[in-house]
Amino acid sequence: MADSRIVEWNAEKVFTLATKANVSAMKKAAFIVEADVKKHFTLLGAGRTYGKHIASKPGEPPAVDMGVLRASIMSDVSVKGKEVTGKVGPDIEHIAAKTEAGTDVEYGLYLEVGTSKMQPRPFLRPALKRQQKNIKRIFKAANK
């Protein structure tokens, strides 16, 4: 005898639930990257001295001078249609819109990617890389 059960599919409800789960996961993921970025700024550089500031060595995260860049790092999540986007950087309204480095504190971009006169002191991309396993775990749990 054939199974006569009826299966109902409510795509809108499924999409809404999946979106909520992924927004929540993205918020967690963005926050752990934000925390990682802030944690890895160095308090005392081991590179070149500029007045009272001792810079970090090339390839290391920036050394804190006044703490403006580190203090400005925030995370934000936005939903546009089917797209859930997490961003980490200093200015929530313009976060990552102006630069690839996710910062509009002008020198943040220069520190992240370097210039023709300065080797990079990356701080955003390494944090994302360090947190990849945690981010995958967060999304896997959200999409069980």
Question: Do residues 78 and 58 touch, judged by C-beta distance below 8 A?
Answer: no
Question: CB–CB of 103/124 below 8 Å?
Answer: yes
Report the alpha-carbon distance of residue 63 to residue 42 in Å, rounded. Answer: 5
Euclidean distance between CA atoms 47 and 44, whole angstroms: 9
> Hey, which bits of the chain come out as E strands?
49-50, 53-54, 74-80, 83-89
Whole-model pTM? 0.78
Helix (H, G, I), strand (E, B) or coil at 48: coil
CB atoms within 10 A of CB 132: 11
Contacts of 24 (CB under 8 A, 6+ apart): 142
What are the sequence ranges of the domains in the chain? Answer: 26-40+73-142
Q: What pLDDT tens digit does each residue of the chain (144 aa) get?
A: 566 677 776 767 766 777 888 899 999 999 999 999 999 998 888 888 988 888 899 999 999 988 888 988 888 898 888 888 998 876 645 544 554 545 557 788 888 899 999 999 999 999 999 999 999 999 999 988
